[in-house]
Amino acid sequence: MASGKGKSPVNTPPPEAKEVYDQAGKLFEENKFDEAIALYSQAIDKYPEYSSAYFNRALSYALQSQYEKATNDAMKVMDLEPNAPDAPYVMGVISEYQNDLPGAQEWYEKSLKNNPNYTQAKDRLKMLKEKMKGEKPGGRLKTAEGADGTQTVVEEGQIKKVAWFTSDMTFKDVIGMEKQKQIIHDNIVLAITKPELLRAYGKKLGLGAIFYGPPGTGKTYLVRAISGETKAKFIIMHINEIVDMYAGNTEKNLHAIFEQARKNAPCIVFADEIDALGSKREGEQQGNMRMAVNQFLQELDGVEKNPEGIFVIGATNQPWDMDPALKRPGRFGESIYLPAPKYRDRRDMFRYNTRKMPLSKFISFGRLARATWGFSGADIFDICDKAALKVAAEEDRTGRKRTIGMKDFMAIIKASGSSLDEWYGMVKKDVISKTETQIVEGKKQEIVKEGRLSPEEKQKYKPMIKDIKKNLNPVNVFVKKFMRFWAIYLF
Ligand SMILES: Nc1ncnc2c1ncn2[C@@H]1O[C@H](COP(=O)(O)OP(=O)(O)O)[C@@H](O)[C@H]1O
Ligand SMILES: [Mg+2]
């Protein structure tokens, strides 16, 4: 646990437990996370109150992306030492990796309340705030009824919390995607910053766009960059949060958002996870969903009739799950595909994400890019962050300062893998027709199951479907694994 802060009297492990614990720390330094976890567990068996062992096991789990186990251990630390800064600190880290940035901030602040000199929490909070600068609240939404949008307890008839954001990010922060950035510049950025230029050419000002692509490829990130480029405010509406179990509330929520947008033009209404609107997965709430979709369409019509300054951008990982009415051509202007990063982009992402880190002189960004063949931008961000976390945790334990080296990055790459590998498997049934063997009356039968996509959808989302198929192709899977293996273990 962090040196230099008060240890509570409970935490005095017997020597035989301490010995195993120290061995675990050495294994952690050698990047042998599984073995370290096994020894931390042994130390805990020998001394069930061993909060430092729980703490370090939580960190090891977090580095391996096993967040549920990491959380359990952090909770245990919280039980054993309720006033120590460690547990809230590691909870902050876990929240960050699960993309809950405001949650992470609360945890780090709690950690610092318990010990204002806890440097690790201080450093992470500083970095977090930097990261959140890309998305800072620019005021709360006041609903038509005058209710304060900051309200978090939602009762029947209330409007949910929605906040405005502004961003300091620009297109320079978005690695690669040059073609996409150009399209967005011509269709959205110009329409916001120089509407008179487009008007002079008789161009209709755009409605917005749909960003689609695998998870973690920068859809949300890109919206922040558009906001920064244009200085326009944006509302993030997470469809899942807007949809309300009470009949009528979802429509009210939607209407309030567009009402606010009209008052704040030019601005961007960002509908994240737009496939959740009208989703077939909702089952019982179909009726409610139908009305919500209708309301949304009505709002879009309003924007279409008077497009001055409101841009509606939708994002989805599964565009084919979108409600058919939303998919109709022209509804959203351009559909823009954001693919997983190519070699050069991955290399530049490693450079970008580590630009403020103390790196060893012997970093090969090319090799890092090859070792992460088929990883997403979000994966690469996490790898860089975890490598830094790992070295910081070591310094905390040993007191020795050092730079972050190739071995650290490789250890994290090996431990977490690509989030996309699994995702491609998950969407397989949606995009690919396949034969299934079924037993009918004791006999085996081959049955062809169609993918869920219509021919039009196949055409419309062609680049993404092509990428998914490519990534499921056994030859490609082999090449991808081989390239990674080669880069991780050999060169
Ligand atoms: N093109 C990119 N350039 C730089 N960073 C990126 C890029 N794409 C993704 N990232 C990183 O991945 C993180 C997650 O991306 P995000 O926009 O949330 O993905 P999505 O919304 O597509 O699921 C971003 O915060 C950023 O750190
Ligand atoms: Mg997103």
Q: What is the DSSP letter of 13?
A: -
218 Cα: distance to centroid of ligand 2 (angstroms) = 7
**Beta partners for residue 237, in sequence order:** 271
Evaluate whether residue 316 is within a structural domain. yes
Q: What is the pLDDT of residue 135?
A: 62
221 Cα: distance to centroid of ligand 1 (angstroms) = 5
**Beta partners for residue 271, in sequence order:** 237, 314
Residues 346 and 487 in one domain: yes
Ligand 1 atom 14, closest CA = 378
Q: Is the pLDDT of residue 139 over 70?
A: no
How many structural domains does the chain have?
3
- Residue 62's nearest CA partner among 75, 49, 53, 73 is 73
100 Cα: distance to centroid of ligand 2 (angstroms) = 12
Whole-angstrom distance, CA of residue 258 vs CA of residue 261: 5
Evaluate whether residue 156 is within a structural domain. yes
Residues 150 and 286 in one domain: yes
Q: Identify which ligand lies nearest to the alpha carbon of 216.
A: 1
Tracing tokens 């680049």 back to the chain, one arrives at 463
How many CB atoms sit inside 10 A of residue 201's CB? 6
Q: Identify which ligand lies nearest to the alpha carbon of 377.
A: 1
Whole-angstrom distance, CA of residue 454 vs CA of residue 431: 10
- Tens digit of pLDDT for each residue in 228-241? 999 999 988 888 77
Q: Which helix (H) or strand (E) holds 443?
A: strand 443-449
Which of 184, 221, 222 to mutate to test ligand 1, by most ligand atoms within 8 A of the CB atom? 221
Evaluate whether residue 321 is within a structural domain. yes
- Tens digit of pLDDT for each residue in 240-263? 777 776 777 888 888 888 888 888
Closest approach atom of ligand 1 to CA 352: 4
Evaluate whether residue 8 is within a structural domain. no
Greatest mean pLDDT among 20-29, 133-142, 255-264: 20-29
Amino acid in position 38: A
Q: What is the DSSP letter of 216?
A: T
Contact 204, 135 (CB under 8 A): no
Whole-angstrom distance, CA of residue 158 vs CA of residue 254: 12
End residue of a domain, out of 311, 337, 363: 337
End residue of a domain, out of 316, 337, 358: 337
Residues 106 and 170 in one domain: no
Whole-angstrom distance, CA of residue 200 vs CA of residue 467: 39
- Tens digit of pLDDT for each residue in 261-277? 888 888 999 998 898 88
Q: What is the pLDDT of residue 291?
A: 82
Q: For residues 101-116, give the mean pLDDT.
A: 95
End residue of a domain, out of 284, 317, 337: 337
Residues 150 and 220 in one domain: yes
Residue 197 CA to its chain's centroid (Å): 36
Evaluate whether residue 303 is within a structural domain. yes
Residue 85: partners with Cβ closer than 8 Å, 6 or more residues away: 2, 5, 111, 112, 114, 115, 118, 121
- Tens digit of pLDDT for each residue in 459-476? 888 999 999 999 999 999
Tokens of 219: 């859809």
Q: Identify which ligand lies nearest to the alpha carbon of 174.
A: 1
- Residues of the chain with pLDDT > 90: what percent? 54
Q: Is the pLDDT of residue 165 over 90?
A: no
Q: Is the pLDDT of residue 354 over 90?
A: yes
Contact 306, 299 (CB under 8 A): no
> The domain spanning residue 23 has which CATH number?
1.25.40.10
Q: What is the pLDDT of residue 37?
A: 97
Pocket of ligand 1 from Cβ distances under 6 Å: 174-177, 215-221, 315, 349, 377-378, 381
Range of the domain at 282: 138-337
Helical packing angle, 419-431 and 377-398, nearest 10°: 150
Q: Please give the span between the terminal C-alpha atoms of the chain, in angstroms, as a whole number.
A: 35
Closest approach atom of ligand 1 to CA 218: 17
153 Cα: distance to centroid of ligand 2 (angstroms) = 25
Residues 263 and 164 in one domain: yes
221 Cα: distance to centroid of ligand 2 (angstroms) = 7
Evaluate whether residue 248 is within a structural domain. yes
Q: Identify which ligand lies nearest to the alpha carbon of 176.
A: 1
Q: What is the pLDDT of residue 138?
A: 57
Q: Calculate the alpha carbon distances from 459 to 209, 212, 313, 454, 463 in Å.
A: 18, 14, 21, 9, 9
Residues 394 and 486 in one domain: yes
